[in-house]
Amino acid sequence: MTRIMFVGRWEGDAAGRLREAAMRLYAERGYEQTTVADIAGEAGLTARTFFRQFADKREVLFAGSEILRSRMVEALEAAPAADGPMRAVAAALAAAAQMLGGDPEFSRRRQSIIDTAAELRERELIKMVTIAEALTEGLRRRGVPAREASLAAEAGIVVFRVAWAQWLADPSNPDLGALMTATLNGLTAVTADH
């Protein structure tokens, strides 16, 4: 007796397969020319499976943003009570570096795709604004006045973005955490000279 295996419904690591297929297609065809159906087909899955994993084709590149934001806020809130706002933000930046710094090649591929489409650059900026708001709220819960909390959080986002760009541009420096620290120290030096 021959057994028939139904593999059509097997999804395995559907999110990972869809992400890899999307990255490949975005790089080959361009983000705007790639459809959800293209991505699902490339991954050997259905569009329905795609939408169970991601809200839309942008989210393939931004899935995990909530986890990043949560980890940064947790690190900020776990900083010693005696630490000032920027030291607490530094703890958040260290958490981001730990989460994001493990696969520079993937990050470079992802960023090169984001850089090609205004819709994706806008989504990246929204992600940064959302993180800044969450850090501001975290600092407020630590008793930091609103103005100083906002200033420290926004400065942290500037440090994040500058260090991130430098890390992506320089494959010889694989330590994102060290770049975050160096960039924060550079900001401190620039602002002290006024």
User: Which has the minimum average pLDDT: 31-35, 108-112, 188-192?
Assistant: 188-192
Contacts of residues 173-182 at CB distance under 8 Å and 24 or more positions apart, as own/partner, are 174/101, 174/104, 175/101, 176/97, 176/100, 176/101, 176/104, 177/94, 177/97, 177/98, 177/101, 179/97, 180/90, 180/93, 180/94, 180/96, 180/97, 181/90, 181/93, 181/94
- Answer yes or no: do 163 and 119 share one domain: yes
- Answer yes or no: do 53 and 113 share one domain: no
Q: What is the mean pLDDT of residues 96-110?
A: 93
Mean pLDDT of the chain: 91
Judged against a pLDDT cut of 60, whether residue 6 lies above it is answered with no
- Answer yes or no: do 48 and 142 share one domain: no
Give the confidence band of 193 by pLDDT, cuts at 50, 70, 90. Answer: low
Domain containing 21 equals 14-60
- Answer yes or no: do 113 and 136 share one domain: yes
Asked if residue 9 belongs to a domain, the reply is: no
- Answer yes or no: do 48 and 116 share one domain: no
Domain count, the chain: 2
Give the confidence band of 43 by pLDDT, cuts at 50, 70, 90. Answer: very high
- Between residues 3 and 91, the one the model is more confident about: 91
The model's pLDDT over 119-144, given as tens digits with 9 standing for 90+, comes to 999 999 999 999 999 999 999 999 99
Distance in angstroms (rounded) separating the CA atoms of residues 78 and 63: 25
Asked if residues 155 and 84 have their Cβ atoms less than 8 Å apart, the reply is no
Main-chain dihedrals φ then ψ at residue 12, nearest 5 degrees: 50, -135
Burial class, 130, CB count within 10 angstroms (exposed 0-12 / middle 13-18 / buried 19+): middle
Asked if residues 118 and 125 have their Cβ atoms less than 8 Å apart, the reply is no
Q: What is the pLDDT of residue 194?
A: 60
Q: What is the pLDDT of residue 7?
A: 36
- Answer yes or no: do 117 and 161 share one domain: yes
Burial class, 38, CB count within 10 angstroms (exposed 0-12 / middle 13-18 / buried 19+): middle
Judged against a pLDDT cut of 80, whether residue 66 lies above it is answered with yes
What CATH number does the domain containing 50 carry? 1.10.10.60
Q: What is the pLDDT of residue 192?
A: 77
- pTM of the complete model: 0.87
* Cα-Cα end-to-end distance for the chain: 84
- Between residues 149 and 106, the one the model is more confident about: 149
